[in-house]
Amino acid sequence: MEKERKYFEEVDAFELLEESPSPKNTWFAGNETDNIEVPQLTLRLQKWLVSKKLDFNCGQSSTLSKIFESPGMLHSEPVGGDNLNPIILGSSDESSQKSYSGLHSVHRRVNSFLLGKDVAGMLHSDNLNPIILDSSDESSQKSYSGLHSVHRRVNLFLLGKDVAERDSHAQKSSSMMASLRADNCIDIEDAVRKLSLASTYTSISQDYVDPFTSLLAVCGQSAPSTLLDVLSKYCDPKSIVKVGEGTYGEVFKIGNGVCKIVPIDGELRVNGEVQKRSEELLEEVVLSRTLNHLRANDGNMQNACTSFIETLDLRVCQGPYDHALVRAWEDWDEEHGSENDHPKGFPEKQCYVVFVLRHGGDDLESFVLLNFAEAQSLLCQVTAALAVSEAAYEFEHRDLHWGNILLYRSETPSVQFMLEGNKMVFSTSGILISIIDFTLSRINTGEDILYLDLSSDPYLFKGPKGDRQADTYRKMKEVTGDFWNGSFPRTNVLWLLYLVDILLLKKSFERSSKNERELRSLKKRLERCNSAKEAIADPFFRDLLVEQG
């Protein structure tokens, strides 16, 4: 023991003058660390320091590790006007390409947001940094004038009546941060200096914008609304009537439109399922806005149609279900027997996304077709709409079962489609259709590809054999090779084949044996088509063509 004690005393007395530097020169000897240039504090640190400066009762400082934690952005926090750093997505990690149902960075989603007419005049605003996209597909580089980076989107959103106040606040914050560096920042900067790896600086210098905040920005909001505030704009709340339901939400009739209310981000299970996250709804919101653009036929559009449901409004809401909605839900339950949980179970701070849509009629499952002409018109309108959306956005619906096609009777004699600059006018035979529900859809907005990675939902492909809908999901998987990011317009044809089977097997309407043969012949020809754009040229639709040019 005595020998060991002397040995360690000798070692302790030895002065280590310089430690060999690591290959990356991240460690230094003596006082050289004093010369390390500390990067600018992250926005999160700056906000913390401001709050520390202003709140003298805040107690002890938070630990550095807690400050660096990814923030759980409070849903009531308004969108800030701070700098939003772009997220650069790599493609080398194969596993990362299958992350959460094909959902990509929040910034890329908002890239695809179509600005409404209220900010259309502001598109000339400041020089803003572009987003770097993970896209090797040349088609995804197609330009589209309505789509801009997240920086432009959020900056335009913030250009409102309070811009002067924001500028004043920014100047005060800048001045305050300069003074804070002399005192309060010292402890934080010292801690930052001690972080040994340079890569850590890079990772923390990117300010984080959570999906919920981006969802607010896309919907043109700084904070959530209440359900009643949104719905009362369209009708007297006492007149609200529930008209349908799904696993993830409820559908109510409000005036001349309908609204779909989808709870998000909560811990409470909805009808036995985990609530959808902001990321998922952000995809659907952006996709709905993009398809809405097909309706704006100003004479210069190469591709246009009105067969996708019109989205009138998109809002983020927070709070309990209003009494008017509860009453409408209970009336439906009494008459139809709801399969969903009672909405009274939602907590006080539950968040929702509200889709306000044009009323498109009844779904094909419940709509009564009268004759073959109506069935023919149905197939024609669906095929033409898919063809237009393929040409415009490489759109694939990927879930076009008979519950996602709405129909209503109309005296409008014809309906027009623009396909790659060519006008096609078809007879309606007295019905008009609307395609809804883009949850599983894939689209190329021109700046980004939005899709749902269906490989993360294996149960989707395990439906009973012989069931037309379940079989179609499995055929899609074969066509795509389980690579759901890619463009496979053949998936649209698979759903057209499904619709022909539905008309032959499950829908009763007045038809002759000749009509049945025509449907079966169409099905054989569709088997050889690789896109709806090919399918719309089929002779089956020629009889309905009123005008072409």
**The sheet that has 241-245: what strands, in order across it?**
241-245, 250-254, 257-264, 351-358, 311-318
Tell me the DSSP string of 372-413.
Answer: HHHHHHHHHHHHHHHHHHHHHH--B-S---TTSEEEEE----
Residue of 399, 437, 448, 471 marked catalytic: 399
Is 482 among the residues known to form the active site? no
Handedness of CA 68, 73, 78, 79 (dihedral sign): positive
Region of 218 (left: φ > 0; alpha: ψ -120 to 50; beta: rest) is: alpha
The label of the residue with tokens 């007297």 reads: 236
Burial of 392 (0-12, 13-18, 19+ CB in 10 A): buried
272: left (phi over 0), alpha (psi -120 to 50) or beta: left
Helices (H), ranges, 14-70: 43-54, 64-68
Q: For 414, list phi and psi in degrees, rounded to 5.
A: -145, 165
The helix (run of H) or strand (run of E) holding residue 495 is helix 490-505
Report the distance separating Cα 245 and Cα 340, nearest Å.
8
The alpha helices in 21-135, defined as continuous H runs, are 43-54, 64-68, 106-111
**Residue 196 contacts residue 26 (beta carbons within 8 Å):** yes
Hey, what are 155's tokens? 């900056």
- Active site members: 399
